[in-house]
């Protein structure tokens, strides 16, 4: 929904209505790996994969990030349980945060 709005000017509410019209179910859980845009852009640039797509620009990434945050804040019921994982540190820190907030509570059965 966010990409459609930022990249093509299609309002999020219109994309959501189209999904719901096709009886797409709301998710039970949404994992939002929240990476500050400057850090995300630097990581993509470092890998040398940036610039291949229209969204590989810092201004577009900032819009996307802001819209994702606003979307999750404005309509949380549409995304099930929202788990926000900070991803501004190292890869190891992000993996640990995902392990603690997603893998253990939801994917590893209780004994």
13-67 tens-digit pLDDT? 898 888 888 888 888 888 999 999 999 888 888 877 666 777 788 899 999 999 9
Residue 51's pLDDT is 67
Residues 6+ apart with CB under 8 A from 77: 26
pLDDT band at 87 (very low <50, low <70, confident <90, very high): very high
Query: How much is the pTM?
Result: 0.76
Residue 49's pLDDT is 66
Whole-number CA gyration radius for the chain:
16
* Inter-CA distances, 52 with 79, 83, 91, 104, Å: 30, 30, 24, 36
């Amino acid at each position: 929904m966010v990409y459609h709005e930022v990249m093509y000017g299609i309002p999020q509410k219109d994309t959501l209505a189209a999904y719901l019209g096709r009886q797409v179910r709301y998710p039970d859980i949404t994992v939002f790996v929240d990476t500050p845009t400057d850090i995300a852009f630097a990581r993509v640039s470092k890998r040398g994969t940036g610039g291949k797509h229209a969204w590989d620009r810092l201004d577009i990434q900032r819009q996307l990030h802001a819209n994702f945050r606003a979307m999750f804040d404005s309509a949380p019921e549409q995304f099930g349980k929202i788990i926000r994982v900070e991803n501004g540190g190292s890869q190891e820190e992000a993996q640990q945060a995902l392990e603690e907030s997603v893998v253990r509570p939801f994917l590893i059965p209780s004994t």
